Copies of this chain bind each other. A is one copy, B any other.
Amino acid sequence: MSSMTLVEAVRAALARALEEDPTVLLLGEDVGRDGGVFRATERLFERFGPERVLDTPLSEALFTGLAVGLGAQGFRPVVEFQFDGFMYPALDQLLNHAGRLRARTRGRLSCPIVLRAPYGGGIRAPEHHSESPEGLFAAIPGVRTVIPSSPARAYGLLLAAIRDPDPVVFLEPKRIYRAVREELEDDGRALPLDRAFVLREGRDLTIVAWGALVREVLEAADRLAEEGARAEIVDPATLAPLDAATILASVAKTGRCLIVHEAPRGHGPGAEIAAILAEEGLFSLLAPVARVTGFDAPTPLPRLEGVFLPAEVDILEAAHRLLAHR
């Protein structure tokens, strides 16, 4: 057991994967000597060498397509995007190739690649450095979108993503890269994909959240507990394919659901969750579903970011509204 931050857990999982499987490669910009802008690959170049940890020329579209070719040949490339806002050039390769290479060749070729990126706001970063694009990736058939919300889940889910035989977009909540430490065993044990995590049990209200906001949600749940309301916290972890069953089971019990995310609201990543409740959970709902989200605007620069990003007060305010329905 050792105590790790989320970014340390990511590094530990990468090192473990490189260690256990010679086909695992790290690709990206500045992942070599520099160790990545957030140091997620620190010392891995020195440890595993230039044939396992490769700095590419500066192009995200390129290294994504490169990974598709490597993957088809049996390698397991893990590519790092420096920031969320630089992932968009990869969408074409994801939509037209990575997500369908297996399907279009009926299994002859496959695409065991992982696209890692720090994502989300709250670190007062420059333009294009604080985006929450998880909803875009979640809409791509044949691609998994996975988001950890703690060091332990970062470690276990990243290992699962790398070992998975299909493409995974792995988004790391940069705001909590170093915010918390957690005791965890670097034992190579993976956590299941396609499975939601119930982080706290409760019977009055279900709160669905992922990534950095899970912290605010847990704090809000503490407040609610003081008020006598018990919130159940569900972290989908894998946003697509989405474990609807766990969310439906929770809402069947609580009758109330609050969905929290940083991404813009309209056609955002929370919509599918609310939609599933409207389709399959309607009669267990005592209160309308509520979403606490960012707004339908580009992520603002730091000065206004604090208003754009959901905070504990917003979560509490919405929770109180839902709890008022009996």
Contacts from A to B (Cβ < 8 Å)? 61, 85, 88-89, 91-92, 95-96, 99-100, 103-104, 127-128, 133, 135-136, 138-139, 141-142, 239-242, 264, 266-275, 277-280, 282-283, 285, 287-291, 296-298
Contacts and interface: CB of A to CB of B under 8 A. Distances in A.
B289 A135 contact: no
Contacts of A264: 139, 141
A273 B278 CA distance: 10
A276 to B, nearest CB: 8
Contact of A266 (B92, B242, B274): B242
Nearest to A285: B282
A239 B268 CA distance: 13
Given A142-B298, A240-B266, A289-B282, A96 B104 contact: no
A266 B239 CA distance: 10
Contacts of A104: 127, 298
A89 B173 CA distance: 26
Contact of A298 (B91, B100, B135, B275): B100
A275 B279 CA distance: 10
Given A91-B91, A139-B135, A139-B264, A288 B298 contact: no
A141 B275 contact: no
A86 to B, nearest CB: 9
B280 A271 contact: no
A142 B136 CA distance: 15
A271 B277 CA distance: 11
A269 B280 CA distance: 18
Contacts of A91: 88, 91-92, 136
A49 B273 CA distance: 50
Contact of A278 (B96, B141, B142, B277): B277
A139 B269 CA distance: 9
Contact of A296 (B141, B269, B277, B298): B141
B128 A96 contact: yes
Nearest to A274: B275
Nearest to A268: B139
Give the residue among A240, A241, A267 with the most B Cβ atoms within 10 A.
A267
Contacts of A298: 99-100, 103-104, 141-142
Contact of A271 (B61, B95, B274): B274
A138 B266 contact: yes
Contacts of A289: 275, 278-279, 282
A101 to B, nearest CB: 10
B270 A291 contact: no
Contact of A291 (B268, B275, B277, B283): B275
B141 A297 contact: yes
For the complex of A and B, list the 7 residue pairs with the smallest distance between their C-beta atoms, beginning with the closest. Answer: A274-B275, A88-B92, A271-B271, A278-B278, A278-B289, A100-B298, A139-B267
